Each structure stands twice: as structure tokens, then as C-alpha cells.
């Protein structure tokens, strides 16, 4: 769903899927709409990079059920990525341990698809959030999530982690 404070803009829908596996998980995010109307980061060599959320990117938040700690993944169409571990709500942020990461992106005039293969230890069962930040060509931002807490868009809120994942 698009956050209530955001204009619809060039992207009409976002879909996402996630499949856990013994090595971590695989995820796919899809933007539908006028791709020319958004900023898509240029392809770059894959690697850990901070501040990806400042432009078009996709996010996964992973919290083991019953725990307060969680992990955040940022995945950019550029193929760059980030992983952070938190002890609680925005508390104790540090780089998360990742064994391997593959991020690929394809796009056409009306669709952008990002696929990620994440290799790391992910405890299950877990509460998971699948989110998107979409930067319009004019610099405006859209925030998409499975659910939002009341108020401003806050992806770190447990309310966004509405998907339950188990192997």
C-alpha cells in the first residue's frame, strides 16, 4: 500500500514476494507504472553501501517472532545493498553479517523488477516487512509497505512487519 501522505505519481502499484530457504531468502520487488517518471540509480558494482534509501530502493525488515531485535536489508536497482542489525526500534544499529548477496534489476517502460538472493542467518518464524522507496523525477518520494503505523511513514515500526515467514 502507498502511504496516505504520498501522491500516487508515476508508479501505480508495487508488488513484492519473499521465499525463505536454508541459505537465507530470495525476494522480488516489482514497480508498475511510468518508469521514466522515477529516478532509478545507475548500475554499479555490487557491494555494501549506506544511504540507499535516499533514492529508489527496496527494503526487507526481518524480526524473529518474540524478539525485539531485527535486521534491515536495503536493495538498490544499482545492485548495491546494505544490511543492518538493530537491538530494538532504531537502537544499536550496526552492519549485519551477510555471507553472500546477489541483486539484479531489469526494467522496461512500464515495469522495474529487482530480484535479490540473500545468504545469511535468518531466524524463523519471523515477522517481515517488504517496503519500497520510490523517488520521482522531480525528487519527491513515495513510500510503499505491506502496512503502516499511524502517522508519518516509518519503516522501522513493527506495524510494517505484517508478513509471517516460516520455512
Tens digit of pLDDT for each residue in 87-102? 999 999 999 999 999 9
Nearest to 159, CA basis, from 129, 132, 115: 129
At 167, is the pLDDT very low, low, confident or very high (cuts 50, 70, 90)?
A: confident
> What pLDDT is stored for residue 7 in this prediction?
87
Q: How far apart are CA 91 and CA 158, in angstroms?
A: 13
The half-sphere exposure of 50 on its side-chain side, counting CA atoms within 13 A, is: 5
Q: Fill in the DSSP letter of residue 137.
A: T
> What pLDDT is stored for residue 70 in this prediction?
98
| Whole-Å CA distances, 158 to 32, 61, 97, 126, 150 | 26, 9, 22, 12, 12
In 7-152, the DSSP E strands lie at: 11-21, 24-33, 57-64, 70-75, 81-86, 94-95, 100-107, 111-119, 126-135, 141-144
Tens digit of pLDDT for each residue in 124-157? 999 999 999 999 999 999 999 999 999 999 999 9
At 6, is the pLDDT very low, low, confident or very high (cuts 50, 70, 90)?
A: very high
Exposed e or buried b per residue across 8-20, where buried means at least 16 C-beta atoms within 10 angstroms of its C-beta: ebbbeebebebeb
At 8, is the pLDDT very low, low, confident or very high (cuts 50, 70, 90)?
A: confident
At 103, is the pLDDT very low, low, confident or very high (cuts 50, 70, 90)?
A: very high
Best CATH choice for the domain 11-150 from the list 3.30.2310, 3.30.300, 3.90.75, 2.60.40: 2.60.40
Exposed e or buried b per residue across 99-108, where buried means at least 16 C-beta atoms within 10 angstroms of its C-beta: eebebebeee
> What pLDDT is stored for residue 105 in this prediction?
97
Tens digit of pLDDT for each residue in 27-85? 999 999 999 999 999 999 999 999 999 999 999 999 999 999 999 999 999 999 999 99
Amino acid at each position: 500500500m502507498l502511504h496516505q501522505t504520498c501522491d500516487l505519481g508515476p508508479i501505480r502499484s508495487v508488488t513484492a514476494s519473499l521465499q525463505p530457504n536454508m541459505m537465507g531468502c530470495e525476494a522480488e520487488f516489482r514497480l508498475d507504472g511510468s518508469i521514466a517518471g522515477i529516478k532509478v540509480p545507475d548500475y554499479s558494482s555490487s557491494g555494501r553501501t549506506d544511504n540507499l534509501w535516499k533514492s529508489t530502493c527496496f527494503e526487507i525488515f526481518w524480526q524473529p517472532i518474540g524478539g525485539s531485535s531485527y535486521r534491515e536489508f536495503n536493495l538498490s536497482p544499482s545492485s548495491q545493498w546494505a544490511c543492518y542489525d538493530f537491538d530494538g526500534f532504531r537502537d544499536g544499529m550496526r552492519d549485519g553479517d551477510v555471507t553472500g548477496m546477489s541483486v539484479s534489476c531489469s526494467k522496461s517502460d512500464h515495469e522495474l523488477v529487482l530480484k535479490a538472493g540473500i545468504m545469511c542467518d535468518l531466524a524463523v518464524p519471523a515477522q517481515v516487512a517488504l517496503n519500497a522507496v520510490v523517488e520521482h523525477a522531480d525528487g519527491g518520494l513515495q513510500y510503499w509497505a505491506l502496512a503502516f503505523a499511524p502517522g508519518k511513514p516509518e519503516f522501522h515500526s513493527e506495524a510494517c512487519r505484517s508478513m509471517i515467514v516460516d520455512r
